[in-house]
Amino acid sequence: MELNKIQEHFKAAIKELTLIAGRNGVLFSLMVQSTERINGNQDIGHSLISAGLPFYDITVKEKPDTHMTCEQYKLNKDNLNDEVSMIMNRECLLYISQAYEVLESYLYNQVSQLIMLNGDIQVFVEPQKNTSTFTSTRIALKRLRDRKNNQHLINILRANCDLFSLHESSNIYNIDFKDWFIMLSIVRNCVIHNRSVVTKEIKSALPKCFSDRFTMVDKGEMTILEINFGHCSQLLLDIANYMFFIYKAIIKRCYKIDLNIISVKEMFPDIRFIRFTNDKTEII
């Protein structure tokens, strides 16, 4: 089957998501190895890193030869484990936020393709919006008034793709992707726009599935969002599963094709399939 735009969007999104997951794994491995090496080496002194942030007065006529600084970051063997845990948590949250951005772009691309390939679907787009081309359709979707948590895109999939509406909340992994997607959107906004600080409003909006992957920790007067490496890795896998779920649902709607391992192998000869068993992992 000729590689179409729906397939191209899927492959591009999975490729970008794989890079995010891979770099997250590399960072975790390096951090763990470095921490173990430092803690296990008695020759390494107590003080490890000390750094300040210099700032200058830009209104003077000549560049000054001195700078100002008032705070210093200090890393030592006493706070090493806590700091490494905090750094990994922050990085994991940023990787999750990046992954959500990939998913958001993927949704806009795939829903736009769905609209372009089917003239009879419910799109919930105002009549004055131009949906004659892929680009104009994508722009029209982004200009809709009600776009909170990108639910307008999910509503279009739900109303027009039977496979999507059938398995969105009922699937073998027991993930309710309705609440899951809302949770992911709220987490991304909290990380990017609120420095991972959980307000009362954010807390009240989070669905129950939040606690499956994330925790909230009180630090002083603030409540901070946290996620460990294992849960981050699983959430990135959930996002990949969701991307394929959308791809499969749209292929079914547009081409009346039921995707399985054989058909996916034919469409994507460069994709590797991995089988997990109790004692080994094999590429098939």
**What digits encode the pLDDT tens for the residues 222-237?**
999 999 999 999 999 9
| Residues 57-70, mean pLDDT to the nearest whole number | 80
| DSSP letter (8 states) at residue 62 | S
pLDDT given for residue 1 in this prediction: 40
CB atoms within 10 A of CB 250: 24
In this predicted structure, the answer to whether residue 26 has a pLDDT above a threshold of 50 is yes
Find, among 141, 122, 106, the residue nearest to 5 by Cα.
106
In this predicted structure, the answer to whether residue 120 has a pLDDT above a threshold of 70 is yes
Collapsing DSSP states into helix, strand and coil, what is residue 68?
A: strand
| Residues 33-38, mean pLDDT to the nearest whole number | 96
CA atoms of 79 and 71, how far apart (whole Å): 17
Higher pLDDT, 60 or 223: 223
Find, among 229, 271, 239, 241, the residue nearest to 23 by Cα.
229
Phi and psi at 234, nearest 5°, equal: -65, -35
CB 203 within 8 A of CB 175: no
Strand partners, 281: 276
**Per residue, what are the HEC states of 122-180?**
CCCCCCCCCCCCHHHHHHHHHCCCCCHHHHHHHHHHHHHCHHHHHHCCCCCCCCCHHHH
In this predicted structure, the answer to whether residue 2 has a pLDDT above a threshold of 50 is no
Phi and psi at 219, nearest 5°, equal: -130, 100
How far is CA 12 from each of CA 9, 18, 100, 124, 271, rounded to the nearest angstrom? 5, 10, 14, 27, 13
pLDDT in tens, 135-167: 998 998 998 877 889 999 999 999 999 999 999
What token pair was written down for 284? Answer: 């098939």
Q: Which of 14-18, 79-83, 114-118, 125-129 has the lowest mean pLDDT?
A: 125-129
Give the confidence band of 129 by pLDDT, cuts at 50, 70, 90: low
Give the confidence band of 284 by pLDDT, cuts at 50, 70, 90: low
Q: Of 1-15, 59-73, 108-122, 182-196, where does the model show the most confidence? A: 182-196
H or E segment to which residue 220 belongs: none
In this predicted structure, the answer to whether residue 65 has a pLDDT above a threshold of 60 is yes
pLDDT given for residue 47 in this prediction: 94
What mean pLDDT is reported for the chain? 90
Sign of the dihedral defined by the CA atoms of residues 75, 89, 216, 194, in that order: positive
| Residues 4-17, mean pLDDT to the nearest whole number | 93
β 215-219/222-226 pair status:
antiparallel
Collapsing DSSP states into helix, strand and coil, what is residue 121?
A: coil
CA atoms of 245 and 108, how far apart (whole Å): 15
Q: Which of 97-101, 221-225, 256-260 has the lowest mean pLDDT?
A: 256-260
Phi and psi at 67, nearest 5°, equal: -130, 170
H or E segment to which residue 107 belongs: helix 80-117
CA atoms of 267 and 1, how far apart (whole Å): 6
pLDDT given for residue 128 in this prediction: 60
